Amino acid sequence: MIKIKIIQGDITKSSVDAIVNAANTTLMGGGGVDGAIHHASGPKLDEACAKLHGCKTGEAKTTPGFNLPAKFIIHTPGPIWRGGHSNERELLRNSYKNCLKEAEKHQCASVDFPSISTGVYHFPLNEAAQIAISSIKEFKAHFIKQIRIVAFDPVTKTAYEKALKDKEK
């Protein structure tokens, strides 16, 4: 059984086995959490990402953490919200599932996720939180013991706390 916690903080400071990067499909850095992770991990991350040749939306690829306290970075491009008519919900679910599969593959016991797709990709926060929590709860883990959602701000933290509380009813 995976223990889920919701915290507010800076995911680049997480001392865990893996952090998840809400990446773009090039994996070459961008804005928001993606840019912060690339900046904090150092130039070797760019070299490693270049060798991965991008990543499709909803899929996931792993690199070392380099200068971060996390051992691994699991990169996943979440979907851009297009009104809910372009398979965005399933793609977001896939992002979470595929990150969890990558964490299992690398025998990670602890994984920190940001709120995938709710920043510049405009996925509705409350719906994204529900999808994230249900995807994590449905996943059958062998190695993963703890997952934290690391919210950047209080509004995001509250949305994930509500989603977790709703799932525990």
The answer to whether 99 and 20 have CB atoms below 8 angstroms apart is: yes
Q: Which residues is 8 bridged to in the sheet? A: 151
> Looking at the annotation, which residues are catalytic?
34
Q: Are strands 61-64 and 72-77 parallel, antiparallel or unpaired?
A: antiparallel
Helix (H) or strand (E) holding 2: none
Distance from C-alpha of 11 to C-alpha of 112, rounded to nearest angstrom: 7
**Letter string b/e over residues 25-55, b meaning 16 or more CB atoms within 10 A of that residue's CB:** eebebbebbbebbbebbeeebeebbeeeebb
